[in-house]
Chains A and B, each alone.
Chain A
Amino acid sequence: KNQVEQSPQSLIILEGKNCTLQCNYTVSPFSNLRWYKQDTGRGPVSLTIMTFSENTKSNGRYTATLDADTKQSSLHITASQLSDSASYICVVGEGGYNKLIFGAGTRLAVHP
């Protein structure tokens, strides 16, 4: 069964600290992996998109890695800010039509 699992479920960090979110997937055939940030009550916003041949992608303070062999990805947030408080969702595209399989998300709270 195609699944995307994320850990931890929730995380609290202090402003300025770094953190890493994890994503494991069992999706076949694999098309791509993306990380989204979703503020409460809003639609997800894309942070990074990686295909099979890419193993790292950065977007400002966000850096995503992908290990296609172990089917793992991580999202590293550097020098966190209060505005980083949100849910971070790992999404894997399946097949030629790129059907999206969603993880349950990690809820990040950045405290001053």
Chain B
Amino acid sequence: KAGVTQTPRYLIKTRGQQVTLSCSPISGHRSVSWYQQTPGQGLQFLFEYFSETQRNKGNFPGRFSGRQFSNSRSEMNVSTLELGDSALYLCASRTGQEYGYTFGSGTRLTVV
């Protein structure tokens, strides 16, 4: 059974640019959530999608957005990149509201 797949694994962008990260959940999982991990702030929740609808959102500016497709794959977009957006971005999937999240390996974004 394939795990949660995130692409790309590494990304380097310039300040002011935008970036799109992709997450393919485990087959059958309808919920995908996104997290930002930095050395200073640790893991922070960005948002969660379930059946193409955002049902939870963390405290991040509007530059961070996401969406989920009918096949449950999800994308996260960050516009007008800032140096502070450099982080490991993780996504996790689960079937629905149960407890078991499975995380992907993350996308390492570096903003220069």
Residues of A within 8 A of B (CB): 31-32, 34, 36, 41-46, 49, 51, 89, 91, 93, 96-105
Contacts and interface: CB of A to CB of B under 8 A. Distances in A.
Given A97-B55, A102-B45, A105-B43, 12 more contacts: A32-B99, A34-B99, A41-B88, A44-B90, A45-B103, A46-B100, A89-B43, A91-B43, A97-B48, A98-B99, A99-B56, A102-B43
Which one of A43, A45, A89, A91 has the highest number of Cβ atoms from chain B below 10 Å of its Cβ? A43
Contacts, number: 56
B42 interface: yes
Interface centre among B35, B42, B99, B108 (most CB of A within 10 A): B99
Interface residues of B, number: 24
Closest 3 CB pairs of A and B: A43-B103, A102-B43, A104-B42
Main secondary structure of the interface of A (DSSP, over half): strand
